[in-house]
Structure 1
Amino acid sequence: MGCSNSFFGKGDCISVDPSCGFAELLPLLSNLPNSKNTWEYEEGEELSGGQGMTSYNFTSKAYLQFPAQLPLSKISDFTVGQSIFDVAWENSSTGQLDRRGLGPIFNANSCLACHVGNGIGRVPSGPTETMLTALVRLSGNSNGSPDTNYGGQFQPFSLSGVPAEGKASINYTQINGSFQDGTTFTLRKPSVEFSNLNYGPLDANGEIYSLRNTSKVIGMGLLEALSDTTILSLQDPSDSNSDGISGRINLVPDIESGTEKIGRFGWKANEPNLKQQGSRAFLEDIGVTSPLFTSKNCTSAQTACLSSVHGNLPELSQTKIDIMVKYMRLIAVPARRTASSPDVLAGKKIFFQAGCTSCHIPKLKTGTIAGSPEISEQTIRPYTDLLLHDMGEGLADGRPDHLASGKEWRTAPLWGIGLVSTVNGTLQLLHDGRAETFIEAVLWHGGEAEKSKQYVLKLSETDREYLIKFLESL
């Protein structure tokens, strides 16, 4: 990148040119006077959400918390917004007036139905299991355009009198391998089969689909508060420093402003802010319209859907959208546990030495957001760069999304990942839930992360356990 850096203070502060990439920064950090190794314990490392947005509940309700120091007025905002996020929507003709608008075709009847406990969903373990908290994205061609008959997302449920789109079933192919020490492992690769299609065939010119599990809903206000300058400083689209990492932003339409903005949310960073992300999810997942998405999610082939009774359009008012967005911005991040223990620090060293921090950036600082001191100027530890990276053929879905190619995915934030099993009773990682352990998730990495995967394949069993303990502490 050709960035320049200036250092000041006692080795604990660094001023960075915006063109400088984190990968270039790591060698410089190790040469700072009086600096520690980057994998040693750092004071305040437990505060994943910074001083303003860290919580200390480590139970099954760990992802449902507001930060401890939140003022009473904002606790009220959190509580009211949570009710909109959690409420079950109902039939437009028979439901309660303030809840009418479900469907006519849909994936779930509330946000919480898929984001269980504000955590992940559960992908079916086989073809006989009904898909309840995951979904399938569709494209009719390699350009990413929606399927002619079924749109951009498959809807397996519907209201009475409207045929659902059909059924999606999951099968798995087993892939066997071994570590350098001879320990064997088995990975599972999902595939989707469609049946009982009620609106004709899927597009004949090579239908592209992408199985998607839901992700954690924590710390989103902090990610939204990162400045564009911070995100841009992390990208290196042409890999000018030849480290094999070429992360780049996704530029996506901001419907409200009519401009393009940096994508921050979604598996392919296809949404620029929480208002648009939440509004689109209401339409595509629940079938509820809003000021940004005023038309029902029906294709021209779905005549019963188009002619069905709707709620008052838009069914979700701007006031309720704004309240829900306030809630999403205030969901705290659980503090880390045992961050300074020797085993965790040994795993942290392995994480750094494997090169994982080239994409999973450990520490960032948010910008200044007027009226929101809890998310402003916070030193956070999300372990993401919010950039798109080529993850190789193994994880490729072939489905582009704005600038994102069929092999690119946004770096998933790792904060709170150690509590997924506690909250959800299952550990299903990556975009489609195929990985059932932390190590399996690493072993699916390819493309820009191939070197990191190869590093892990050479680890001893003891070192693999250290790596797991580090990830469990996040």
Structure 2
Amino acid sequence: MKDPLLQRVATPLLCALLLGSALPVHAGRPAPTNDFSKAEAGERAQGGDTTHDKRLNADAFSHSSANLSFEKRLDFALGNGMFKKIWVSSPSSTTASDGLGPLYNARSCQRCHLKDGRGHPPEGNYPQDTAVSMFLRLSIPPQNEAQRKALAEGRLGVIPEPTYGGQLQDFAIQGLPAEGRMHIDYREIPVQLSDGETASLRQPSYRITDLGFGPLHPQTLLSPRVAPPMIGLGLLEAIDEADILAQQDPEDRDGDGISGRANQVWHRQRQALALGRFGWKAGNPTLNQQNTSAFNGDIGISNPDSPAPSGDCTVNQPLCLQAPNGNTEQHDNQEISRQMTDLVLFYSRNLALPPRRDVDDPQVLAGKKVFYETGCIRCHTPKYVTGDNPALPEQANQLIWPYSDLLLHDMGEGLADHRPEFLASGREWRTPPLWGIGLTETVNDHSYFLHDGRARSLLEAILWHGGEAEPMKQAVIEMPRQQRANLIRFLESL
């Protein structure tokens, strides 16, 4: 068998038969392996049949699902065009692209998700650098009974800051001031590891300078966020809800110290609570809601699901509310139509995973053993078989390897933002998928990780783990240097 990606171009069942391994073909969570002498069947094709086999260069995250039909590749290309579209302010002669802002963080989706990959913190504070792929979420504690009731019922996940809204927009159209500038200061924290090895963690602190609309509420809560990678999102949406919920253990009844729980968030189309899957705190239930919220909040583009033409403007920003918009009949009386957001949805749903590298390498296998036996898989669930959905055949019935349970976990005080979001506390974060993480530097030319990019390496990201992951972190600190190197080598292969 010359083609090591046979499992990608064949069906999972055929691949299992050819490789002599009984892979499941029904939705579920296959049991993790305890054999680290060789790679598992299907492991290299971490996105199942969707995994691409293109060159692993700076475009490695920008290819379509390998099992897309020729006809559907046109929709993918059109969605890619919408993802890259540069928006301009209204009024404009180009009515197909106007409606930017009035306040915004970026002029296109691609500006934050550069090459469909991971964002990063600025290399310096403004004006040295502009934080295009990172911004600050804003909120305040509830101030009255109506707000407390909306939070309790889940109709709101947060109470926006009354002047600046739900996030800080650091750009504005002509005639308006930007809301402000994110300012980051770092403090180095040394960490002593076994075998004489040392590491240093940079602890960030955040503040806002150059406020454009007056002072912030005195109880304002800040939460920094970098843009996450776009790959594999359609596959995460295709995991059966029951397989995610079955991993919950909020009371830690099994006594393993892990208390994962699902976020329950507001589904705008259904007008009901639903399982949160997307975002750093699992604050959105669907990929479409994640996309359309970003169009409205990050770029200021109204759409059928987030129809405010002034984006995140508040009543305390009257000039912002009075700014012209780009709503047109040809776009469903919005600035971007349902057809256009559907194309972006199709594009983001079908951004393919790259293949794993070096799955049979002895050091990678040794690192995989460390990852599993240290207990990392208690949160970073290795694999699933996606559900059977005839409407989305590309993502259906696929053996996938995201290394995430998509649940919320207490990550300790070191990573806490102290800003609740729906059911997520100020110390909880959704387990991020790890697939593709080893290609971050190849695609995005940096190695910054975690929700705010504070970690400058995979080892630093591990050393920031606390809370439920504290025992695993301590095990990494205390293990022999070679085992740590093996663990990092395994992560680099994902």
TM-score normalised by the chain length of structure 1: 0.92
Query: Structure 1: which 5+ residue stretches go unaligned?
Result: 1-8, 30-35
Q: Which has the higher mean CA deviation after the structures are superposed, 461-470 or 388-397? A: 461-470
Preserved contact between residue 384 and residue 400 of structure 2 (Cα < 8 Å): yes
Preserved contact between residue 126 and residue 172 of structure 1 (Cα < 8 Å): no
Q: Any residues of structure 2 matched to 1:130-141 within 5 Å, and which?
A: 130-141=130-141
Separation in 1 of the partners of 2:79 and 2:282? 24
SS in 1 for 2:204: strand
| Aligned pair partner of 1:327 in 337, 343, 347 | 347
Separation in 2 of the partners of 1:15 and 1:454? 37
Aligned to 2:389: 369
Matched, 1:163 2:177: yes
Aligned to 2:167: 153
Aligned to 2:83: 85
Rate the CA distance shift 1:55–1:384 in 2: closer, same or farther, 3 A: farther
Q: Which has the higher mean CA deviation after the structures are superposed, 52-61 or 260-269? A: 52-61
Preserved contact between residue 87 and residue 100 of structure 2 (Cα < 8 Å): yes
Rate the CA distance shift 1:106–1:130 in 2: closer, same or farther, 3 A: same
SS in 1 for 2:438: helix
Separation in 2 of the partners of 1:270 and 1:359? 18
Superposition deviation, residue 183 in structure 1: 1.5
Give the aligned length. Answer: 453
Preserved contact between residue 136 and residue 211 of structure 1 (Cα < 8 Å): yes
Preserved contact between residue 55 and residue 332 of structure 1 (Cα < 8 Å): no
| Aligned pair partner of 2:273 in 253, 260, 267 | 260
| Paired letter, 1:133 | S
Aligned to 2:196: 182
| Paired letter, 2:133 | T
| Aligned pair partner of 2:264 in 248, 251, 254 | 251
Q: Any residues of structure 2 matched to 1:30-179 within 5 Å, and which?
A: 37=35, 40-94=38-92, 96-127=94-125, 128-141=128-141, 144-179=158-193
Q: Any residues of structure 2 matched to 1:342-353 within 5 Å, and which?
A: 342-353=362-373
Separation in 2 of the partners of 1:233 and 1:334? 28
Aligned to 1:33: none
Q: Which has the higher mean CA deviation after the structures are superposed, 259-268 or 189-198? A: 189-198
Separation in 1 of the partners of 2:25 and 2:52? 26
Aligned to 2:490: 470
Preserved contact between residue 383 and residue 402 of structure 2 (Cα < 8 Å): yes
Separation in 1 of the partners of 2:25 and 2:317? 56
Q: How big is each residue's C-alpha offset from its partner over 1:10-30, in whole Å with a ceiling of 9 and x where there is no partner? A: 995789999xx99xx66xx7x
Matched, 1:276 2:289: yes
SS in 2 for 1:333: coil
Preserved contact between residue 39 and residue 348 of structure 1 (Cα < 8 Å): no
SS in 2 for 1:335: coil
Aligned to 2:148: none
Superposition deviation, residue 322 in structure 1: 1.0
Which portions of structure 1, spanning 4 or more consecutive aligned residues, are displaced by more than 4 angstroms? Answer: 9-18
Aligned to 1:235: 248
Q: Which has the higher mean CA deviation after the structures are superposed, 461-470 or 357-366? A: 461-470
SS in 1 for 2:243: helix
Superposition deviation, residue 41 in structure 1: 1.7
Separation in 1 of the partners of 2:325 and 2:428? 37
Superposition deviation, residue 196 in structure 1: 1.4
Preserved contact between residue 53 and residue 374 of structure 1 (Cα < 8 Å): no
Preserved contact between residue 238 and residue 396 of structure 2 (Cα < 8 Å): yes
| Aligned pair partner of 2:401 in 378, 381, 389 | 381
| Paired letter, 1:457 | I
Separation in 1 of the partners of 2:374 and 2:53? 29
Q: How big is each residue's C-alpha offset from its partner over 1:38-78, in whole Å with a ceiling of 9 and x where there is no partner? A: 67421221011012344433110000001333211111111
Separation in 2 of the partners of 1:380 and 1:318? 30
SS in 2 for 1:467: helix
Q: How big is each residue's C-alpha offset from its partner over 1:182-225, in whole Å with a ceiling of 9 and x where there is no partner? A: 22111011112211111111111x22101111110001110111
Rate the CA distance shift 1:51–1:189 in 2: closer, same or farther, 3 A: same
SS in 1 for 2:194: coil
Aligned to 2:145: none
SS in 2 for 1:70: coil
Q: How big is each residue's C-alpha offset from its partner over 1:277-321, in whole Å with a ceiling of 9 and x where there is no partner? A: 100000110000111111122111111110101011411111111
Preserved contact between residue 85 and residue 108 of structure 2 (Cα < 8 Å): yes
Aligned to 2:313: 298
Matched, 1:309 2:329: no
TM-score normalised by the chain length of structure 2: 0.88
Query: Structure 2: which 5+ residue stretches go unaligned?
Result: 1-16, 143-150, 152-157, 328-332
Separation in 2 of the partners of 1:16 and 1:368? 8
Separation in 2 of the partners of 1:118 and 1:290? 22
SS in 1 for 2:296: helix
Separation in 2 of the partners of 1:375 and 1:226? 9
Aligned to 1:456: 476
Preserved contact between residue 120 and residue 453 of structure 2 (Cα < 8 Å): yes
Rate the CA distance shift 1:16–1:294 in 2: closer, same or farther, 3 A: closer
Preserved contact between residue 39 and residue 349 of structure 1 (Cα < 8 Å): no
Preserved contact between residue 347 and residue 469 of structure 1 (Cα < 8 Å): yes
Aligned to 2:461: 441
Separation in 1 of the partners of 2:300 and 2:373? 46
